[in-house]
Amino acid sequence: MKKHTKAEPLRPEPFALADAGVGSLEELIRQGARQIIQQVVESELQSLLSSYAHVTSISGQRVVVRNGHHPERSILTSVGPVPVRIPKVRDRSGSGIKFNSQLVPPYVRRSQRISAALPWLYLKGISTGDMSEALQALVGDQAKGLSPAVVSRLKKQWSEDWKAWNKRDLSSEQYVYWWADGVYTGLRADEFDKQCLLVIMGVKPDGSKERVAIGDGIRESKESWRDLLLDLKDRGLKAGPLLATGDGAMGFWAALNEVYPETRHQRCWVHKVANILNALPKSVQGKARANLKEIWHAPTIDVAERAFKRFVSSYGAKYPQAVAKLTKDEGALLAFYDFPAEHWLHIRTSNPIESTFATVRHRSTRTRNCVSRDTFLGLAFKLIEEAEKSWQKINGADKVTALLRGDVFKNGEPVKDNQPIVELRLAA
């Protein structure tokens, strides 16, 4: 296996993975193993049925047909059992044609290397050239018979799954928050040098997270984001979220203002801190990081604004470019103070989407060949679909109802009689 190295981007901190809702890594691996193995087995079956499609009885019936499944059984691995269901076929001719999976033969019960193979499969990716090698690590030499045709059929199925999902009706959907990001993959796709994956995750009225949109575009242009947002509206999503969080890419914000102008903007603090630090010499980055943290971790907007002014005063004379990166987005950086304090951890950064799509970035940086648009979107869709199973509700999910009925919050607390509860407590 070739080793790959890649410079890690600047990522400030510990809450990134926690907020993504990733529970047990081993459970995620088991879920991924089951999904991939099941899809490969189904593709093997289709290959068998296709090879006998021309064989029919006197009455015109196909001789070899699908006939249910064998009882579910488990392949024991070092991360626990992975359940699989092997389909059966019926041979009406009586010649004894049976379906035996090359990937999971009847006698396979244990794979000693699955713990190492599955993370590699997720990170390296699932392509025609890599699949056989990856799955050989799962079940040994029996995977050598996995043909390129089977792999191609899998990729086609994933593309069809994405297309069906991307046409779903949204007229009954409502979101309180969005995270939006453009994932630069490095992949070359058909007529474009690089594909940019456009992604939106949302929070529903019950506080749960879900995929809202997965598309692609040329860079993160306004036109690309506008097409994505208009498609959501055309499929019934008449109102945008109360707040959207993303980085400073102007294309998304310009498109959002045009399609869902009522949605407020929250700039991602993780991206903002990284951009500011990149404009400062290394000798002052440590102190500057701590000063910036005093702003976005402040308990109230008044405290945050005072810390904001101190930063401008401390660094403005020597490092005006770094300070300009902060001051140009002041309002959008502090918007989260008008929402429940329990939600701040989630909405002041786009880390939920950053962490979730790390597998897509890893996968695509290792695939330099040209892929079709449908193949890439299908692959991204399947990886994200699996990750979504481990997403957790946001903290303070019960506060979402208050937001949606129009209750006002200030400094993270609900306002009563035009006076925030936190101020009433201090007065008492």
Q: Assess contact for 111 and 75: CB atoms under 8 A.
A: yes
- Nearest one of 419, 280, 387, 401 to 343, comparing CA atoms: 401
Q: How confident is the model at residue 126 (pLDDT cuts 50, 70, 90)?
A: very low
pTM over 0.75: no
Q: How far apart are CA 285 and CA 419, in angstroms?
A: 39
Q: Return the higher-pLDDT residue of 101 and 415.
A: 415
User: pLDDT value at position 133?
Assistant: 56
Distance set, CA 336 to CA 15, 88, 296, 349, 359 (Å): 17, 55, 9, 10, 28
Q: Assess contact for 306 and 297: CB atoms under 8 A.
A: no
Mean pLDDT, residues 179-197 taken together: 67
DSSP at 242: S
Q: Assess contact for 89 and 46: CB atoms under 8 A.
A: no
Mean pLDDT, residues 283-306 taken together: 96
Task: Name the residue with tokens 């995620």.
Answer: 28
Q: How far apart are CA 428 and CA 426, in angstroms?
A: 5
User: pLDDT value at position 132?
Assistant: 56
Q: Assess contact for 28 and 390: CB atoms under 8 A.
A: yes
Query: How do 64-69 and 87-91 pair as beta strands?
Result: antiparallel
Write out pLDDT tens, residues 42-98. 888 888 888 878 877 777 788 889 988 888 877 654 445 678 888 988 888 776 788
DSSP at 68: E
Q: Is the pLDDT of residue 413 over 90?
A: yes
Mean pLDDT, residues 220-245 taken together: 94
Write out pLDDT tens, residues 267-279. 999 999 999 999 9
User: pLDDT value at position 348?
Assistant: 95
Q: How far apart are CA 311 and CA 292, in angstroms?
A: 7
Write out pLDDT tens, residues 360-382. 454 444 444 456 778 778 777 87
Buried b (16+ CB within 10 A) or exposed e, 90-124: ebeeeeebebebbbbeeebeebeebbebbbbbbeb
Q: Assess contact for 247 and 181: CB atoms under 8 A.
A: yes
Mean pLDDT, residues 183-207 taken together: 74
Q: Is the pLDDT of residue 389 over 80?
A: no
SS3 content of the chain, % helix, strand, coil (to 5): 50, 15, 35
Mean pLDDT, residues 285-296 taken together: 96
> 7-11, 34-38, 61-65: which has the minimum mean pLDDT?
7-11
Q: Assess contact for 169 and 236: CB atoms under 8 A.
A: yes
> 7-16, 200-209, 223-232: which has the minimum mean pLDDT?
7-16
Q: How confident is the model at residue 394 (pLDDT cuts 50, 70, 90)?
A: very high
Q: Assess contact for 301 and 252: CB atoms under 8 A.
A: no
User: pLDDT value at position 1?
Assistant: 46
Residue 59 CB coordination number (10 Å): 5
Q: How far apart are CA 205 and CA 256, in angstroms?
A: 21
Query: What is the amino acid identity at position 63?
Result: V
CA dihedral 230, 231, 233, 239 (to 10 degrees): -80
User: pLDDT value at position 295?
Assistant: 97
Bridge partners, residue 82, by sequence: 75
Q: How confident is the model at residue 208 (pLDDT cuts 50, 70, 90)?
A: very high
Write out pLDDT tens, residues 320-371. 999 999 999 999 999 999 999 999 999 999 887 776 665 445 444 444 445 6
